[in-house]
Structure 1
Amino acid sequence: MSKALVYRMLLVMVLIQSIYGHRVYRVGDEQGWNPNADYKAWSAGKTFHLGDVLEFNYKEGLEVQEVTAKNFEACNNDNVIFEDHTGKTFIPLRCTGSHYFTCGVYNYCKDGMKLNITVT
Structure 2
Amino acid sequence: MASSAITLLAALAAVVAVTALLPATASAASYTVGDSSGWDLGIDYGAWADGKKFRVGDTLEFLYSSGEGDHNVVVVDERSFASCSVSGNAPTFTSGDDKLSLTKAGKWFFICGVEGHCQGGMKLAVNVH
Query: Which TM-score applies when normalising by structure 2?
Result: 0.75
Unaligned 5+ residue runs, structure 2?
1-24
Q: 1:104 aligns with which of 83, 91, 113?
A: 113
Deviation at 1:81, TM superposition (A): 3.1
Work out whether residues 64 and 102 of structure 1, in 8 Å CA contact, stay in contact via their aligned partners in 2: yes
Unaligned 5+ residue runs, structure 1?
1-18
* SS of the residue 2:127 aligns to: strand
Work out whether residues 48 and 117 of structure 1, in 8 Å CA contact, stay in contact via their aligned partners in 2: yes
Q: 2:72 aligns with which of 29, 52, 63?
A: 63
Q: 2:59 aligns with which of 37, 53, 60?
A: 53
| Runs of 4+ that moved beyond 6 A | none
Percent of residue pairs identical: 35
Query: Which TM-score applies when normalising by structure 1?
Result: 0.81
Aligned to 1:7: none
Inter-partner Cα distance in structure 1 for 2:110 and 2:82? 11
Query: Which one has a bigger Cα radius of gyration?
Result: 2
In the alignment of these two chains, the number of paired residues is: 102
Work out whether residues 33 and 58 of structure 1, in 8 Å CA contact, stay in contact via their aligned partners in 2: yes
